[in-house]
Structure 1
Amino acid sequence: MSQALTRPPRKNPLARTRQATRPPGTRSRRALGLTAAAAAGRFDLQVCRECAAVQYPPREVCHSCLSDQLHWQAVDPNGELLVTTTLHHSNDLYFRERLPWRIGTVKMAAGPSVVAHVHGDCRDGDKVRLALKLDRSGQAVILALPQQATPNMADDKILRETSCDPKFRRVLVTDGKSAVGLATIESLLAAGATTVFAGESQPWKASDKFNALCTDDRVQRQDLDITDSDSVERLSRSIGGKVDILINTTGYEREGGILHNRDMSKAHEAMDINCMGLMRLAQHFGPAMAGRAGDGVNNAVAWVNIMSIYAHVNLPSRGIWSASQAAALSVSQCLRNEFLQSGIRVVNLFSGPIDHEWEQLTPPPRVSPNAIAAAIVRALRDGVEDVYVGDIAHEFQVRLHDNPKGLERELGT
């Protein structure tokens, strides 16, 4: 049984922060298919269209019939753990700091045998469940996990290295008064976050629920206006070295297209909040988080952006807002690559219409703030990069893959 994680002691301010290291990150182009599956929380392997043989490791042609018709699809993740080895020495800096480390060979029910990182609750001969996870280099690795949940399972060292669990971590929620922000704070507290810094850009705007949450000793109210560089800088100087997870819940949403809208103030506001605000947060909080990415069990681990599914395809009736969402998506992709050296994970959550004040006239289905908050915590625990929440977001995800031009035309009618 995994040992329960205990709250780490207060850090010695005179001690040097451990520098972030990364596991080996080189992969072949074919192997990046594993990374794509891990980023979405799937377990996909190559399967031959000709003979249906499951392939591992990823390759150019089928190992059975030499066909090059290999496609990625979900396969049975179950198997038997044949044998394990515990490493007590490694020349790699990342693993040297984390020894001992268990690896093992698993015979999959789907056919191949794989070498996997092994959870502490798995023993030789056990039936196990394989999972694709992203490591700190942003690449896919295979973990062998117990088929059934065990006590303190998420506290296992190997599993925690591939997740961003908010347990015992300090989280900044940039807009704590929004509907999504309020729900996110509640979910983080329930997930075991040590401290939640709740951003507040409009002190004059009354919110009984926000005030009630702030009575909890774990919630700290913070003045934060992401459209004001001075405000962001002041807060980063105050708590920047304490933030382990940043969740950007601030957003701007308005009606209006482009062709017949000469009022550029909406465009300025949309870009200033949805895109430039994200950049300000990154410039002031990002370096400190990257510097603490190797700082023990409660290190800085994740950056979460909440965006609309219309970041992928423009909604003409809200063309300016959709453009700002697309710009924010581009910024987040830049951040993801810039954070790779430190191992900070950038999580993008794409939602359908949210059930809040700016979607009052939008017909169902709409996504509740609680559903978004639950998806954020689940994504952090699972260590995924891209999350789609709500019926519309899931539908658009499929249609953007199958027929993006058709969806573009349909939204314009």
Structure 2
Amino acid sequence: MTEPLPTPKRKDPLKRSRLGLVPPGLRSRAATEMATYAAQGLFVLQSCDRCRSVTYPPRDRCPSCWGTLTWADQDCGARIEAVTTIRHSTDNFYRNHMPWRIGTVRLDAGPVAIVHLHGDVQQGDRVRMTLRLDRGGNPALFAMPQEETPNMQDDPQLRCFTADPKHRRILVTDGRTAIGQDIARALLKAGAQTVFLGDADPMMRYPGKAEIEAQEGIEPVSLNLTDSGSVQELAAQLGGRVDIVVNTAGFVRPGGVAFGAKLSNLQAAFDLGAVGLVRLAQGFAPAMSARSDDGVNSAAAFLDIVSVSGLSGQSGYAGAAASAAARLSLLCGLRGEMQQTGIRVLSVLTGPVDDDWHQDLPQPKVAPVQLARAVVHALTEGQEITCAGDVAKDLFARWQANPLLSIREENR
């Protein structure tokens, strides 16, 4: 049984942090494609169009008949046939994480694979296979217990594949909204040690201010993402302490492009949503990267909450959708940079939020508490792309199937 994760001791300031090394990189285009499915939390393997056999690891052609391989959802059941504990390695990342358990499993889908093992599974056990991304963005099979076990998320090997909030210090950039407040509460419930709650204007009160700031574990901080000085000042104070950044800031106003549009709203949306994201990354990413393998409460993730309309545009909310599109593009660039340091960059795509600025849109809308659950899920699973709400799930699925069609459907 996994031992409970101990509360981390105060770090010796004279001790050098361990370098944030990452596992070896990808070696094929097929493996890169597999990573795109792992990023969504899917369990897929390649299936041959000719002989119908399922194969692993990823290949360009079927090893049995040389047929074409396509990705398909598979049964995640498996049985462990052999277990090995590695105690020595020539790879710098694994050297720092010994011992490391791997095993040979026979998948119910057919192939025999070498996989990473959770500490609560043994030879002969039935297991539930998951497809996860390691710290370098590479896809890997990880065998989990079939049923929930005590302290299951505390397994040290599993934590290398996630950004679990437990015992970590988290910055939520905007606590003036119901979204920011519900996310802060959910993170504390998930085991976060401290939540630094951003406030762009500490002199002005907001609904729920007294209640949220009085909660144990909440530490209000001054943070205005439209002000580079404010971001840099907070980064100088907290850069070495923040383990996860959750960016909840955004500016949403109704308006089109030619009709009902205000350039001031468009500028505000880009300044807070897109340029603000860059300010935040430049302020906190360097210090987080230096602490990405620093023990129990090492820096782990940079998570951004962004409207799914950034994929397709949205009539009536064109400025907000354009800002979301810019954020998604910036996140792709940031993800490529941070993969070299072991910090995960996660996106939670949301549909219209049930707030004052979306009153004219029909249901279903995303409640703040629902968005908070999606954020916790993304962190505990290490999932790069998470959809919050039915609207986001539907649009993302249609966009994957046919991007041009989804754009026309959303803007007719």
Class of the TM-score when normalised by the shorter of the 2 chains: over 0.9
**Counterpart mapping for 1:307-386 below 5 A:** 307-386=306-385
1:187-266 mapped onto 2 (5 Å cutoff): 187-260=186-259, 263-266=262-265
SS at match of 1:103: strand
Q: Distance in 2 between matches of 1:140 and 1:361?
A: 42
Aligned twin of 1:165 = 164
Rounded to whole Å, the distance in 2 between the matches of 1:412 and 1:100 is 54
Helix, strand or coil: the match of 1:133? strand
How far residue 81 of structure 1 moved from its aligned partner, in angstroms, is 0.3
CA distance in 2, matches of 1:38, 1:72: 12
Deviation readout 1:36-75 (Å, 9 max, x if unpaired): 121100110011122221111111222232212x111110
2:33 is the alignment partner of 1:33:
yes
Q: Quote the offset at 1:319 in angstroms.
A: 1.3
Cα 1:12–1:326 shift into 2, 3 Å: same
- Percent identity at matched positions? 42
The aligned amino acid for 1:243 is V
Instruction: State the alpha-carbon separation in 2 of the partners of residues 4 and 34 from structure 1.
Output: 32
Question: Structure 2 CA distance, aligned partners of 1:92 and 1:230?
Answer: 41
Conservation of the 8 A alpha-carbon contact between 2:176 and 2:207: no
Residue range with higher mean Cα deviation, 272-281 or 205-214 = 205-214
User: Do residues 175 (structure 1) and 174 (structure 2) align?
Assistant: yes
Query: Which piece of structure 1 moves more, 190-199 or 319-328?
Result: 319-328
Q: Deviations over 1:262-318 (max 9, x none)?
A: 742122111100100001001111111111111111100000100001110111222
Give the conservation status (yes or no) of the 8 Å contact 1:41–1:132: yes
- CA distance in 2 between counterparts of 1:37 and 1:6 reads 33
Corresponding position of 1:60: 60
Question: Which segment drifts farther, 9-18 or 205-214?
Answer: 205-214
Counterpart-to-counterpart distance in 1, 2:206 and 2:323: 28
Q: Distance in 1 between matches of 2:306 and 2:405?
A: 22
Mapped partners of 2:261, 2:322: distance in 1? 16
In 1: Cα distance, 2:257 partner to 2:97 partner: 53
CA distance in 2, matches of 1:362, 1:240: 39
Cα 1:258–1:208 change in 2 (3 A) is closer
Q: Contact 2:26–2:32 at 8 Å: present in 1 too? A: no
Compute the displacement of 1:216 (Å): 2.5
**Post-superposition offset of 1:261:** 5.8
Residues 40 and 386, structure 2, Cα contact 8 Å, conserved in 1: yes
Aligned counterparts of 2:403 and 2:132: Cα–Cα separation in 1: 28
**For the aligned residues, what is the CA RMSD?**
1.2
One-letter code aligned to 2:319:
I
Aligned to 2:16: 16
Q: For residue 141 of structure 1, give the secondary structure of its aligned residue in structure 2.
A: strand
Of residues 116-125 and 403-412 in structure 1, the stretch that sits farther from structure 2 once superposed is 403-412
Q: Give CA-to-partner distance per residue, 1:308-339, whole Å, 9 cap, x none.
A: 01110111222122111101111111110111
1:7 aligns with 2:7: yes
* SS in structure 1 of the partner of residue 122 of structure 2: coil
Partners of 1:218 and 1:262 lie apart in 2 by 41
Mark the CA change 1:330 to 1:183 in structure 2 (over 3 Å): closer, same or farther.
same
In structure 2, C-alpha distance between the alignment counterparts of 1:322 and 1:98, rounded to whole Å = 42
Q: Any idea what SS the aligned residue of 2:306 has?
A: strand
Shift of 1:341: 1.2
Does the 8 A contact of 1:33 with 1:72 survive in 2?
Answer: no
In structure 1, how many angstroms separate the alpha carbons of the residues matched to 2:258 and 2:212? 43
* Structure 2 unmatched runs, 5+: none
* Structure 1 length-normalised TM: 0.97
Residue by residue, what CA displacement relative to the aligned partner does 1:97-143 show, whole Å, maximum 9, x if unpaired?
A: 11111111001111100000111111111111111111111111111
CA offset at residue 204 of structure 1?
Answer: 4.2
Residue type of the alignment partner of 1:350: L
